[in-house]
């Protein structure tokens, strides 16, 4: 019998028991490719034998002109072979024959039978020397895809990495596609619409933090693709990565079209603040800028169907970095079809950004509130670090009916102005006190009253009798309420301890005072 590869390679082999040549010495064929996914293992070549025969032929790659064999992170092209069950022997590149296996590794004799027309990937996985035993695993591949669709599957081949979830997007915008995938396991192909400018992320099952991502992820219609998790989180020479193979692409020489595409997830940490005193409870929907695809209500997807009420502030959550359009919806809405106010477009989140997206202003501007600022979103860049032994404080003016204010430490004649002449929607210029770009003052720990008064006035409008900001703490004081002509929600201060653990699962630690 003969194995005829699509390279024109002909390898003479001895037929196993029960193999009867067809007319013209032609046998039904299958397609096989070999993937080297064992981190730390040297390059390999391989030989094939009909199962149980011991009659190995090859080395296959050497006979095809690839004297260096197959190195880690590479996958051969599909080779046409006679349809049957095979044993595999790994040999050193450059071997003259199949007599000696690589490093004394045993032959692989438990592979499934390849039926006529089948396609398969034979993957070398695990550690040659390490905690996860070296093994060869066969995965059956799909070769067809519906018109206008793509097929995507995930194979977990990263030794030592626990079960993982893989999905679209990332952070709190993560939508699971393959869940609880164990090492050496594969999912069936998912046939779906093409992925354009998207992101694929992987995280340990049961966690909310992405370990690795593929961005941008672009898979065109008609594509069949396999994403392999490869590498080892503790191996700097073969780190955790994603090897994306386009299974039905034209090969390059002896290799399939595969590329290492994983990277550290690029995320921004964002929280949402409801500071509009006459707005009902809300949720928000996010869409990639200009796409119009708003997905699902964010807070509802996080297990908070009641949404965010005034004056609540969420804890920080991770979001993929990109430009977003933001739609504010009523918390009672179950979908993102209708916004409660006009959408806010093109809010850009950059890698490493920590930010507060604040809903400020009012919805009903009739009567006495006619001149109050209208409802809108304001993005504040936050600072997540503070010098050791110091504390940070920032003031934000979000009281729509209140003129510009001064804020400082102490009260009455003991008042020391820190934030001067701060108008609605702004953080503060200082009164001779050095502030950071984002409006923070870094100082010694604070144990004092904090007061606010109209800009340049000599009497306090309100006083918080005792504010204690400890070492290494970061806080934001926010003027809230005070819609003109309204008795509900009068002027107060919302003091948020930005660096404190969240209150409950979803909310930042904030206190309304006095």
Low-confidence residues of the chain, pLDDT below 70?
1-25, 432
List, for residues 62-112, the tens digit of each pLDDT value: 999 899 999 999 999 999 999 999 999 999 999 999 999 998 899 999 999
Give the H/E segment covering residue 463: strand 462-469
What's the rounded Cα separation, in Å, for the pair 173 and 301? 9
What's the rounded Cα separation, in Å, for the pair 203 and 196? 21
DSSP letter string over 112-177? PP--TT-EEEEEEESBSSSSSB-EEEEEEE-----TT-EEEEEEE--TT---EEEEES-GGG-EEE
SS (H, E, C) 337-385: CCCCCCCEEEEEECCCCEEEEEEECECCCCHHHCCCCECEEEEEECCCC
Q: Any idea where the domains of the chain sit in the sequence?
A: 1-140, 142-264, 267-513
CA 317 to chain centre: 12
Instruction: Produce one character per residue of 204-226: b if its CB has 16 or more CB atoms within 10 Å, e if not.
Output: eeeeeebbbbbbebebeeebbbb
- Domain 142-264 is of which CATH architecture? Sandwich (2.60)
Give φ, ψ of 24 to 5 degrees: 75, 15
What's the rounded Cα separation, in Å, for the pair 220 and 216? 13
Structure tokens at 369: 């509130």
For 34, the 3-state DSSP assignment is strand
Q: Which residues contact 334 (CB under 8 A, 6 or more apart)?
A: 297, 300
**Do 355 and 309 meet the contact criterion of CB atoms below 8 Å apart?**
no
What's the rounded Cα separation, in Å, for the pair 236 and 430? 48
Cβ burial, residue 24 (10 Å; 0-12/13-18/19+): exposed
For residue 409, which of 458, 492, 465, 474 has the smallest C-alpha distance? 465
List, for residues 163-179, the tens digit of each pLDDT value: 999 999 999 999 999 99
Instruction: Produce one character per residue of 54-79: b if its CB has 16 or more CB atoms within 10 Å, e if not.
Output: ebbbbbbbbbbebeebbebbbbbbbb
DSSP letter string over 428-460? --BSSS---TTSEEEES-EEEEEEEEETT-SS-
- In this prediction, residue 25 carries a pLDDT of 55
Determine how β-strand 391-397 pairs with β-strand 474-480.
parallel
pTM above 0.75, yes or no: yes
Cα distances (Å, whole numbers) of residue 214 to 34, 211, 265, 360: 24, 11, 8, 35
For 227, the 3-state DSSP assignment is strand
What's the rounded Cα separation, in Å, for the pair 254 and 46? 14
What's the rounded Cα separation, in Å, for the pair 410 and 398? 22
Find the length of the chain.
514
What's the rounded Cα separation, in Å, for the pair 301 and 354? 21
For residue 333, which of 359, 373, 358, 301 has the smallest C-alpha distance? 301
**Do 10 and 81 meet the contact criterion of CB atoms below 8 Å apart?**
no
Give the H/E segment covering residue 300: helix 298-301
* Phi-psi region at 67: left, alpha or beta (left = phi > 0; alpha = psi -120 to 50): alpha
């Amino acid at each position: 019998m003969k194995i005829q590869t699509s390279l024109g390679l002909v390898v003479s082999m001895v037929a196993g028991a029960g193999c009867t040549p067809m007319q013209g010495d032609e046998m039904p064929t299958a397609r096989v490719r070999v993937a080297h996914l064992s981190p730390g293992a040297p390059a390999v070549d391989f030989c094939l034998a009909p199962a149980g025969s011991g009659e190995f032929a090859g080395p296959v790659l050497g006979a095809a002109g690839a004297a260096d064999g197959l190195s880690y992170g590479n996958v051969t092209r599909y080779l046409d072979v006679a349809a049957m069950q095979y044993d595999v022997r790994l040999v050193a590149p450059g071997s003259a024959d199949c007599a000696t296996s690589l490093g004394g590794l045993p032959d692989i004799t438990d592979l499934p039978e390849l039926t006529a027309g089948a396609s398969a990937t034979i993957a070398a996985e695990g550690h040659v020397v390490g905690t996860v035993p070296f093994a060869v695993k066969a995965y059956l591949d799909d070769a067809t895809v519906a018109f206008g669709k793509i097929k995507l599957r995930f194979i977990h081949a990263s030794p030592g990495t626990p079960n993982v979830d893989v999905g679209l997007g990332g952070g709190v915008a993560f939508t699971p596609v393959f869940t609880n995938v164990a090492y050496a396991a594969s999912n069936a192909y998912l046939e779906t619409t093409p992925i354009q400018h998207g992101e694929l992320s992987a995280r340990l099952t049961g966690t909310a933090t992405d370990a690795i991502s593929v961005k941008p992820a672009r898979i065109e219609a008609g594509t069949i693709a396999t994403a392999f998790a490869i590498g080892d989180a503790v191996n700097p020479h073969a780190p955790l990565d994603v090897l994306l193979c386009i299974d039905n692409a034209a090969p390059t020489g002896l290799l399939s079209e595969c590329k290492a595409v994983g990277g550290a997830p690029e995320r921004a940490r964002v929280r949402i603040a409801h500071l509009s005193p006459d707005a009902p409870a809300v949720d928000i929907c996010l869409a990639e800028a200009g796409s119009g695809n708003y997905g699902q209500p964010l807070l509802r997807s996080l297990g908070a169907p009641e949404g965010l009420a005034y004056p609540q502030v969420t804890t920080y959550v991770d979001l993929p970095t990109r430009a977003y359009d933001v739609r504010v919806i009523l918390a009672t809405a179950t979908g993102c079809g209708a916004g409660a106010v006009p959408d806010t477009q093109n809010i850009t989140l950059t890698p490493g950004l920590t930010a507060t997206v604040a809903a400020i202003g009012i919805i009903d501007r009739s009567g006495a509130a006619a001149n109050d600022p209208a409802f809108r979103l304001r993005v504040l860049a936050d600072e997540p670090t503070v010098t050791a032994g110091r504390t940070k404080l920032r003031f934000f003016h979000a009281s729509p009916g209140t003129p510009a204010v001064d804020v400082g430490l102490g009260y009455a004649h003991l008042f020391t102005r820190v934030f001067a002449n701060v108008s609605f929607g702004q953080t503060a210029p200082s009164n001779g006190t050095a502030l950071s770009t984002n409006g923070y003052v870094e100082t010694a720990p604070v144990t004092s009253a904090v007061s606010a008064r109209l800009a340049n006035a000599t009497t306090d409008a309100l006083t918080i009798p005792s504010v204690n900001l400890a070492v290494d703490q970061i806080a934001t004081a926010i003027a809230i309420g005070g819609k003109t002509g309204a008795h509900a929600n009068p002027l107060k201060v919302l003091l948020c301890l930005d660096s404190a653990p969240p209150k409950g699962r979803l909310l930042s630690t904030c206190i309304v005072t006095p």
